[in-house]
Chains A and B, each alone.
Chain A
Amino acid sequence: MSISCQKRFVFFLLLWLVTSRYAVAAVSVPAPTAKEKCPVCGMFVAKYPDWVSAIGFKDSTYVYFDGPKDLYSYYINLAKYDPTKTPASVSFIQVKDYYSLKAIDGRKAFYVLGSDVYGPMGKELVPFEKMKDAQEFMNDHKGKKLLRFNDISQSTLKLLE
């Protein structure tokens, strides 16, 4: 193996390490199949690609939801839906950014409450990647409150009923 070849090999190895690390860090679950159902409301998830959200567990299993509202009802009441799991066994939360429809990290997202945009299950927590997007959305769609991951509680879910 010549020197340049070795160099190239090391470069690609590094590149692979960097990208694979990135892939682990970024949230991504495969698109849900047509049979996948939301464990909270029982609706088929694949019909609402714009709202599909997911919780990934450390044992590399996923659960899909048809919107952030149901995702958080599940997450907050994990003991009720899946007693074998605890909040500590959750590895990531994925929601869809309202404007770009790209999958984003649910723990870092900004959520708008009380807007005139409805999801498949009615009132929704509309997720955004950027704060500025969320603020503009609040202006455009009469949003009432801007929430972060830690602000979402059982009482928030009550407001969405």
Chain B
Amino acid sequence: MSSFINRHRNIIDFALSSLLRRKIKNISLLGVYTLIIFVLASLIFFVHALRREAALILKNAPDMVVQRLMAGRHELIPVDYGQKISSIRGVQDVVPRLWGYYFDPAIGSNYTVMVPRDNMVQPDNIIIGTGVARVRKASVRDLIAFQAYDKTPLLLMIQQILPYESELVAADLILMSEQDFQSMFNLPKGYATDLAVSVANPRELVTVATKIAEQFPDTRPILKSEILRTYDSVFDWRGGMMIVIMSAAILSFIIFAWDKATGLSAEERKEIGILKSIGWETSDVLFLKFWEGIVISLSAFLCGVLLAYGHVFFFSATIFEHALKGWSILYPQFRLVPAIDAFQLTVLFALSVLPYTVATIVPAWLAASADPDAAMRS
């Protein structure tokens, strides 16, 4: 056993010194290789973390949201629709929701205004997202002035600033009491923005949705699973867009790596011939090339993944932030919670380290199985 380890140690020693002999070539190879792994791994980490975040947020979303449509547009829904819907079998609870958007002319940005479910906000108070607090430079117990629908001022006090974890969705959020919501937007009495429907047995969701659509032809029930699917396809699309852009880079890398790895130079061929003539076996030569390949590809893989981890989770993916994140003016400034998909990393490993290593071994095997005398003469 120890002779086996010693043999490999010597081979690795030789491999490292032979890599160092061709310093410039190998360092540039390592650099390009690392860069590609870095970009790919960043993308994998980023999309995976965003998806996870979205899934976490939607975990508490209602099973179904019922919206009313008028002329193909989202309209206010009468609250008494809710009473009729709750009599449908399988429906556990129907909650009318009030929400809307408020344009703040002082900042030039839109806030999402919502009335929370369980009267967690007192009248004349608000709870705001971190984004709103940042742009308004406000803190707890400060008063913020809004303009009601009729341009009269409405002064509301900040009761709380939402915790940092919810930044991705709640950056532009303002929670207020129903009373303040009414004085701000003057909604007609007995109307809500939409209805949140919960169904005890998830197997019945589709049946309930079908019944709602039949009984109220002017409504549109939206299931949570549909929202999740939309999120998934949005991330897939954004991720896909990046992949298309990057595939050109990857292709050029493959050509580069293939060229470097497969084409043994005359010098390398001669080296193999010399090694064989001084008593190295073919297997030793193959191990030498294998270790050379592993040193390059594994270091590039590890460096690339580590850099990507830092880039995504410590620097909030600064490079492709604008391509992948939201649409609002109040960009959420958040640090993603590190989430790693082991499966995707393994795929990346299998697609980068393994082919490279194989690509280095095969030509070496061809050269090593040739006659050493012929190899040295050529």
Q: Contact residues of A with B, CB < 8 Å? A: 50, 98-101, 117, 133, 136-137, 140-141
Q: Does B90 contact A (CB under 8 A)?
A: yes
Please give the distance in Å from A124's CB to the nearest CB on chain B. 11
Q: Does B200 contact A (CB under 8 A)?
A: yes
List B contacts of A50 (CB < 8 A).
201, 203
Q: Do the beta carbons of A99 and B90 come within 8 Å of each other?
A: yes
Residue of A nearest to B201 (CB): A101
Q: Contact residues of B with A, CB < 8 Å? A: 89-90, 92, 200-201, 203-204, 207
Q: Do the beta carbons of A99 and B207 come within 8 Å of each other?
A: no
**Docked CA distance A101–B90 (Å):** 9
Can you list 20 contacts pairing A with B, beta carbon distance less than 8 Å?
A50-B201, A50-B203, A98-B201, A98-B204, A99-B89, A99-B90, A99-B200, A99-B201, A99-B204, A100-B92, A100-B200, A100-B201, A101-B200, A101-B201, A117-B203, A133-B89, A136-B89, A137-B89, A140-B207, A141-B207
**Docked CA distance A117–B89 (Å):** 15
**Docked CA distance A133–B89 (Å):** 7
**Docked CA distance A141–B207 (Å):** 9
**Docked CA distance A96–B32 (Å):** 61
**Docked CA distance A5–B207 (Å):** 55
Which 7 pairs from chain A and chain B are nearest by CB? A99-B90, A101-B200, A136-B89, A100-B200, A140-B207, A101-B201, A99-B89
Please give the distance in Å from B87's CB to the nearest CB on chain A. 11
| Contacts A100-B92, A100-B200, A100-B201 known; 12 new A-B pairs at CB < 8 A | A50-B201, A50-B203, A98-B204, A99-B89, A99-B90, A99-B200, A101-B200, A101-B201, A136-B89, A137-B89, A140-B207, A141-B207
List B contacts of A117 (CB < 8 A).
203
Please give the distance in Å from A111's CB to the nearest CB on chain B. 16
List B contacts of A137 (CB < 8 A).
89
**Docked CA distance A117–B204 (Å):** 10
**Docked CA distance A67–B249 (Å):** 56
Residue of B nearest to A50 (CB): B201
**Docked CA distance A136–B211 (Å):** 12
**Docked CA distance A117–B203 (Å):** 8
List A contacts of B200 (CB < 8 A).
99-101
Residue of B nearest to A134 (CB): B89
Please give the distance in Å from A96's CB to the nearest CB on chain B. 9
List B contacts of A133 (CB < 8 A).
89
List A contacts of B92 (CB < 8 A).
100
Please give the distance in Å from A49's CB to the nearest CB on chain B. 11
Residue of A nearest to B204 (CB): A99
Residue of B nearest to A119 (CB): B203
Please give the distance in Å from A38's CB to the nearest CB on chain B. 20
**Docked CA distance A98–B208 (Å):** 13
Please give the distance in Å from A146's CB to the nearest CB on chain B. 15
**Docked CA distance A122–B149 (Å):** 57
